[in-house]
Structure 1
Amino acid sequence: MCFYNQKRFACGDWNWTSFAQQCNYEYRTGETCGMRLVNVTEFESTQCRLCEKIEIKFRRLSAEMERLDRWRREGGTLVASMARSQKLIMELEKEIRQLQFERDNKRRALG
């Protein structure tokens, strides 16, 4: 039951930061027992890495969808560009689902 500092993000996720104090159960110098307890929690106003990636992908997806809608409204003659744009939209949606799945698995494993 060694003590570590914790960083909590605005989105609710958290991670371990620095080692704070060794417990009495571990007798070897420089070793920890493997159980982690929170010493101090530092609150961050930013989101975690996964949430930031998801947010960036959503912005890219939104911009691509707006571009595709504009081309359709204007009677697009750029059929190849529209097809490429639709493919990009599908890839972004897949990446977003994958990142959300990864974030949910991380929360479930730690919760």
Structure 2
Amino acid sequence: MCFFDQHRFACGDWKWGHFRQHCAKEYRIGETCGMKLIMQTVPVAQKCRLCEKIDTKERRKQAEVERVHRWGRDGNKFRASIEKSMEAIKGLEYEIQELSYERMRRLQGIGNLSAHA
């Protein structure tokens, strides 16, 4: 039960920070017992890596949607480009969904850690 800082991002996600204090179970210098407890929580104003990736993919998806709408107004002139963009939108939606699931898994784990703080 060694103590570490916890960095909490604006989106609610977190990551472990620097080691702060040994517990009574670990006597070797430079080693930790393996169980991490929170010494202090450090707020971070930015979003986590996963949320940044989700935001980036959302912006790319929105740009593709706007492009398809613009091309759609011109009729059949850009049919192949529209189909290509629709495939890109489907791919982006899948990637966003996978990143969102990963983020939810991490956030479910934070509830268990908060009880120790």
**TM-score normalised by L of structure 2:** 0.89
Partner of 2:75, secondary structure, is coil
Match of 1:109 in 2: 109
The Cα shift of 1:110 comes to 3.7
Match of 2:115 in 1: none
The Cα shift of 1:24 comes to 1.4
Partner of 2:5, secondary structure, is strand
Match of 1:14 in 2: 14
Distance in 1 (CA, whole Å) between partners of 2:102 and 2:63 is: 24
* Letter aligned with residue 10 of structure 1: A
Distance in 1 (CA, whole Å) between partners of 2:11 and 2:97 is: 17
Match of 2:50 in 1: 50
- Per-residue CA shift, 1:71-99, capped at 9, x if unaligned? 10122411111110010000000000010
Where do 5+ consecutive residues of structure 1 fail to align? none
Calculate the aligned-residue CA RMSD, in Å: 1.1
Identity %: 50
The Cα shift of 1:33 comes to 1.0
Greater fraction helix? 2
Distance in 2 (CA, whole Å) between partners of 1:2 and 1:110 is: 18
Distance in 1 (CA, whole Å) between partners of 2:110 and 2:63 is: 34
Where do 5+ consecutive residues of structure 2 fail to align? 112-117
The Cα shift of 1:29 comes to 2.2
**TM-score normalised by L of structure 1:** 0.94
- 8 Å Cα contact 2:12/2:107 also seen in 1: no
* Number of aligned positions between the proteins: 111
The Cα shift of 1:38 comes to 1.1
